[in-house]
Every structure is written in C-alpha cells, then in structure tokens.
C-alpha cells in the first residue's frame, strides 16, 4: 500500500499554520500525524535546524506518513528538518518529550479519512467489514468484543454518553437481541431497524452514525486521550509556545474549550481564538468533512501570570 492511493485532505490547514506560527529552527509536535497533511506543511517551514515530531498510535498511518514525509524531505534537500516519528498515542508525549522543549503543538482529533475508507479497519458502515475500530490494532478491546460482551445497560450508557444518541436504550436492547454481531454492516442494520432516521435526520446522517461514534470513542478511550494532552500541553511548551487543536464533535470541543478557559483563568494560557475557527464555504465544498471542524488556539505566556482564581485566593490571605 502506497501513499499515492490514499486520499487525505488536511482540515483547516491555512488556519492551523497561522495560529501555530511555525518559525525556522523551532521544534513542532504533530500529536495526530495521520497522513501527514499538516506535518508536510510544517516541515516546509522549519528549515534544517528545525525538528518535527509526530505521534500516531495507528502504525498503518505512521508508515504512510513516513513515506510522505520522506518525499517532502527529499524535495527540500539541505533545507529539510529533522523528523522523528513515534508510534504511540499522543497521551504518551510527556514520556518522550522534555518539559519546556516544544515551540508549537498541533492536534487534529477524531478518526481519519484513511481509517474510514478502509473496510478492514471496521470504522465505517459504508462498506461491510470486521467490527474492530481500534486505532492501535496492537492492543485493547475490539468493537466486536464491546458489542458482544457488554451488558445491555453498559451498551446503552456508552452509546448515550459518547455517541450522544437519545435512543440508546432501544438500540442497546436490539444489539443484545441480535448477538453475535461481527461486522459493521450487521451492526448498522440492527441500529437502523431499532432506531430509524427521524424526520430531522433524514437528509443528514445515517441512523447508525451516533452509535458507531460512541463505540469508537469508547474503544479508543479518545476523550481520556484528549484530557491527558490538554493537561500536558502547557508543561511541554516553551514560553510563548503555541497550541492549535482541531475537533470534530461537541464532546471533543467541550473538553478543549473548558481546559483552555480554566487555564486562562489560572494564567497558564492566553487564548487566541475567542470563538472557534471554522472552515470557509470553499473548503467545505472541497472537503465536506471540514464542515464540523472547529479550531481553537492558545499561547503559553512568556511569564506565567496569576489567574483570576489565584489572585482572589491571594487577596483573601
């Protein structure tokens, strides 16, 4: 499998580069390497004294990204930066990186187009495939194990919490009755039969979309990964270092928004985006996936200041 036969369009590329403000000679971390769409552009801006560090727990994606970045560096020749790729989840960044060593950090959350387009990975119901959904196929429960081994209440709770599906109890009941469930197509049919598209959803999303989202997020512990990254980011960045985060649904965006707001109150962050940055119509036409993307950015202050909560506590003393 080569990079040429893989389609991938980096979302909010121009906006991400603007907020990351990559400078020659800096160290930049791409926490969600994917097909290296963002990283390829970052590499072009770093120069020979710069360093690009990429994380991805999906080893298939890492291999493809390495091929693409090799070509970019070959094209850049003597102007190519140092590139280091790490096949681990981005929550492991504090293990691999020194505190205060990073100038800019990017994260593009969610499932990639590569994963969705490959039936054997089991992320999508658009083509029938094994019910896997693991981003890291080396470890963890598969979606099939979760669907077939969790009890009805556990299934309903995770579909409701992570999929934001209001009809989760009805869907969980149908799944339990339909066991064993082994393929994406089978699961999609069970969900669609139990909870057919509502009027307001008929022209928007497949009735199984939220259920698949909930199971995928649970299988990959995606929200825990995001919380870990948001906690680690200010410690990894240098003073004046930049953070840019792209999310694709409300659960991801809420974690980022709340973390940045709390950090700003404590003087840990200066928020650069008062409102999330969204794609222009032209980008949405080219890449429909960008429609739901939201970018938030922040900068670590040159000198960490006491936030409002800390000042209030000091005043009380």
Is 133 within 8 Å of 187 (Cβ atoms)? no
Element housing 83 (H / E): strand 82-86
The Cα 34–Cα 78 span in angstroms is 25
Is 245 within 8 Å of 225 (Cβ atoms)? no
State CA 298 to chain mean position distance.
17
* Rounded-to-10 torsion of CA 163, 165, 170, 175: -20
Question: For residue 104, what are the β-bridge partners?
Answer: 28, 242
Identify the three-state secondary structure at position 267. Answer: coil
CA angle 80/85/90 to nearest 5° reads: 130
C-alpha torsion sign, points 7, 12, 15, 21 = negative
pLDDT for 304: 57
Domain ranges of the chain: 3-113+222-316, 121-220
Q: What pLDDT, in 10s, does the model give residues 42-67?
A: 999 999 999 999 999 999 999 999 99
Considering the domain 3-113+222-316, what is its CATH architecture? 3-Layer(aba) Sandwich (3.40)
Fold of 121-220: DNA polymerase; domain 1 (1.10.150)
Is 10 within 8 Å of 68 (Cβ atoms)? no
Least confident among 2-11, 81-90, 101-110: 2-11
Q: What pLDDT, in 10s, does the model give residues 188-209?
A: 999 999 999 866 555 568 999 9
Element housing 243 (H / E): strand 237-247
Is 249 within 8 Å of 292 (Cβ atoms)? yes
Say if residue 3's pLDDT is above 50.
no
pLDDT for 166: 95
Least confident among 84-88, 147-151, 283-287: 283-287
The Cα 167–Cα 135 span in angstroms is 26
pLDDT for 289: 85
The verdict on whether omega for the bond into residue 180 sits within 30 degrees of 0, i.e. cis, is yes
Element housing 245 (H / E): strand 237-247
Q: Mean pLDDT over all residues of the chain?
A: 92
Say if residue 4's pLDDT is above 50.
no
Is 232 within 8 Å of 90 (Cβ atoms)? no
Is 187 within 8 Å of 131 (Cβ atoms)? yes
Q: What pLDDT, in 10s, does the model give residues 148-165?
A: 999 999 999 999 999 999
């Amino acid at each position: 499998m080569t990079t040429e036969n893989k389609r991938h369009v980096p979302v909010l590329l121009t906006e991400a580069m603007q907020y990351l403000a990559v400078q020659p000679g800096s160290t930049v971390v791409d926490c969600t390497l994917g097909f290296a769409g963002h990283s390829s552009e970052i590499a072009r801006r770093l120069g020979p004294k710069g360093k690009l560090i990429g994380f991805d727990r999906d080893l298939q994606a890492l291999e493809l990204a390495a091929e693409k970045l090799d070509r970019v560096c070959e094209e850049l020749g003597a102007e190519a930066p140092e590139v280091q790729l790490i096949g681990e989840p981005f929550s492991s960044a504090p293990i691999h990186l020194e505190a205060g060593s990073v100038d800019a950090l990017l994260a593009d959350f969610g499932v990639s187009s590569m994963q969705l387009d490959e039936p054997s990975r089991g992320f999508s119901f658009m083509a029938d495939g094994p019910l896997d959904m693991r981003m890291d196929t080396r470890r963890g429960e598969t979606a099939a194990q979760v669907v077939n081994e969790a009890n009805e209440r556990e299934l309903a709770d995770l579909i409701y919490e992570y999929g934001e599906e209001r009809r989760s109890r009805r869907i969980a009941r149908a799944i339990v009755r339909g066991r064993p469930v082994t393929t994406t197509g089978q699961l999609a049919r069970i969900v669609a039969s139990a909870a057919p598209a509502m009027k307001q959803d008929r022209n928007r999303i497949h009735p199984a979309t939220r259920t698949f989202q909930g199971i995928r997020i649970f299988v990959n512990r995606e929200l825990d990964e995001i919380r870990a990254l948001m906690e680690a980011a200010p410690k990894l960045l240098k003073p004046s270092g930049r953070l840019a985060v792209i999310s694709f649904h409300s659960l991801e965006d809420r974690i980022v928004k709340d973390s940045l707001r709390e950090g700003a109150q404590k003087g840990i962050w200066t928020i650069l985006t008062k409102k999330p940055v969204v794609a222009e119509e032209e980008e949405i036409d080219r890449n429909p996936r960008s429609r739901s993307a939201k970018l938030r950015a922040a900068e670590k202050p040159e000198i960490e200041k006491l936030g409002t909560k800390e000042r209030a506590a000091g005043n009380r003393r």
